[in-house]
Amino acid sequence: MANQLQVSHKDFFNSPAVKNKLSEVVSGKSDQFIASLLSIVNNNKLLSNADNNSILTAAMKAATLNLPIEPSLGFAYIVPYKRQAQFQLGYKGLIQLAIRSGQVKNINSGVIYKAQFKSYDPLFETLEVDFSQPEDEVAGYFATLELLNGFKKLIYWTKERAYNHGKRFSKSFGNSPWQTDFDAMAQKTLLKQIISKYAPLSTELQEAITADNETEDEKAAPIDVTPQEETLTDLIGETPQEELPIADPETGEIQEEQTALFDQLGDLTDD
């Protein structure tokens, strides 16, 4: 069965239609790209069972962004999810795209170990680290961004926070680089947070983040089924602006001529 699937992948990606489609985005290097893609697929049991069209779609996203798909490079990944293949951006790919945007002066991320960590102040964004200390157990991760206009940003997450984020938001958490290269995925998460919120996004960067969000996607928020208590507005409707009570700006007390309105409201709520 496995051999049949491998042959099916090989036949599909070596078909003239698929090769021509890939040639449009990899500038005549379709044979090299296909060979790399088939190697990745055949070396991943779950991915080898994925639908051919989904593999092609994921591969095309990486090719369009001009990011290599070899997992060991950390630029982009093709990951399995429910017999489908999905594109996943790597932290090196995110850095590469940010630099290409032409708006970023400096961008970096890294791992901080417990022996090195001193303190982090999220209010003033100061991180005190002693890199002369040994690399023991991982404490957390940082990401920094500096734009050409002088704007700077720094964020730090503990390893626990990064783990909880990945487990909550990644649909393919159990079968993805989160399992094989956790540190890289944690750094990517911080970089994506800092870039998407604070950096000018080029069209290419927007497309990459959007595509990545389809894999690193927020699971549906739980629906609150708790009965909602009716508010005063629900019971009596909104009060026209001109009928609202006028309060003394210094004491906050409602002026006497407006107290009649509140007497009315009291009668309604007492029923």
Domain ranges for the chain: 2-89, 91-205, 232-270
Average pLDDT over residues 119-132: 95
Average pLDDT over residues 178-183: 92
What is the pLDDT, as a whole number, of residue 216?
A: 66
**Residue-averaged pLDDT of the chain:** 81
Average pLDDT over residues 21-36: 87
Residue 189: pLDDT band by 50, 70, 90 thresholds?
Answer: very high
Please, which residues bridge with residue 81 across strands?
A: 84
Least confident of 84-98, 117-131, 161-175: 161-175
Residue 271: pLDDT band by 50, 70, 90 thresholds?
Answer: low
Average pLDDT over residues 6-35: 86
Alpha-carbon distance of 116 to 131, in angstroms, equals 6
Per-residue pLDDT for 132 more than 90? Answer: yes
Per-residue pLDDT for 160 more than 70? Answer: yes
Whether residue 232 contacts residue 269, with contact meaning beta carbons closer than 8 Å, is answered with: yes
Average pLDDT over residues 179-205: 93
Least confident of 154-163, 206-215, 227-236: 227-236
pLDDT tens per residue across span 227-245: 344 444 443 444 444 444 4
Least confident of 60-64, 152-156, 221-225: 221-225
Helix%, strand%, coil% for the chain, nearest 5: 50, 20, 30
Alpha-carbon distance of 101 to 107, in angstroms, equals 12
Please, which residues bridge with residue 87 across strands?
A: 78
What is the pLDDT, as a whole number, of residue 265?
A: 46
Higher model confidence: residue 246 or residue 103?
Answer: 103
Rg (CA), the chain: 27
Whether residue 94 contacts residue 208, with contact meaning beta carbons closer than 8 Å, is answered with: yes
Single-letter amino acid, residue 29:
K
pTM: 0.69
From the list 242, 244, 241, the residue with the least C-alpha distance to 265 is 244
208 is written with which tokens?
């990459």
What is the pLDDT, as a whole number, of residue 122?
A: 92
